[in-house]
Amino acid sequence: MNTIIMFFIAGAVLLAAEVFVPGAILGIFAAIALLVGVVLSFVDYGSMGGWIAIAAALGLTGVTLWFEFMILPKTALGRRLFLKAEISGASQPPLAERETMVGQAGVADTTLAPSGYVIVAWKRYEAYSRAGLIAKGETLRVVELDNFRLIVQKN
């Protein structure tokens, strides 16, 4: 009986330590310890003792997980262990609204051959010229937008 209890305690401690150690290795060892305790219960105490051990292992796992995810995050230590913030952002800022950009006049900030940068409404955008080369400083007009750049043509 002491051996079975020791495996159950070891399983609970390993499962609780899973919070502090990244990866699932301690959780796997905890499951193995609880499984060994259940198997020993079946061997030593028969079917009824084994089913009681299964219920105890599931209950112990449930209580341990409940404590880890419901109680621990509200403690001072838990607030340091669990993430509360998220990173939000995008790899690309939104280009512009199609309705406001199409038809706008601009100036080539770099030579477009056929890609480069333009200034439209006092902002610098990456642009593409369907007609090919547009020299720096030439006036142009926005005719379309794609996902990442403006499509422009000479005025």
Q: What is the pLDDT of residue 81?
A: 77
Q: Does the residue 97 lie in any domain?
A: no
User: What are the pLDDT digits (tens) for 99-153?
Assistant: 888 999 999 999 999 999 999 999 999 999 988 899 999 999 999 998 788 999 9
CATH number, position 130: 2.40.50.140
Q: What is the pLDDT of residue 126?
A: 92
Q: Percentage of the chain surpassing pLDDT 70?
A: 96
Pairwise CA distance, residues 143 & 149, whole Å = 11
Domain count, the chain: 2
Q: What is the pLDDT of residue 38?
A: 94
Per the structure, the complete domain to which residue 48 belongs is given by: 2-81
Q: Does the residue 91 lie in any domain?
A: no
Highest-scoring range by mean pLDDT, 15-29, 35-49, 70-84: 35-49
Q: What is the pLDDT of residue 59?
A: 93
Residue 73 shares a structural domain with residue 112: no
Q: Does the residue 94 lie in any domain?
A: no
User: What are the pLDDT digits (tens) for 19-37?
Assistant: 788 778 998 999 999 999 9
Residue 53 burial by Cβ neighbours in a 10 Å radius (0-12, 13-18, 19+)? buried
**Which tokens hold the place of 78?**
């838990």
Average pLDDT along the chain? 89
Q: Does the residue 93 lie in any domain?
A: no
Residue 47 shares a structural domain with residue 108: no
Residue 114 shares a structural domain with residue 76: no
Q: Give buried/exposed letters for 61-96 (b at 16+ CB in 10 A, else e).
A: beebeeebeeebeeeeeeeeeeeeeeeeeeeeeeeb
- The model's pTM is 0.50
Question: Residue 52 has what DSSP assignment?
Answer: H
Q: Which has more confidence, 90 or 77?
A: 77
Q: Does the residue 90 lie in any domain?
A: no
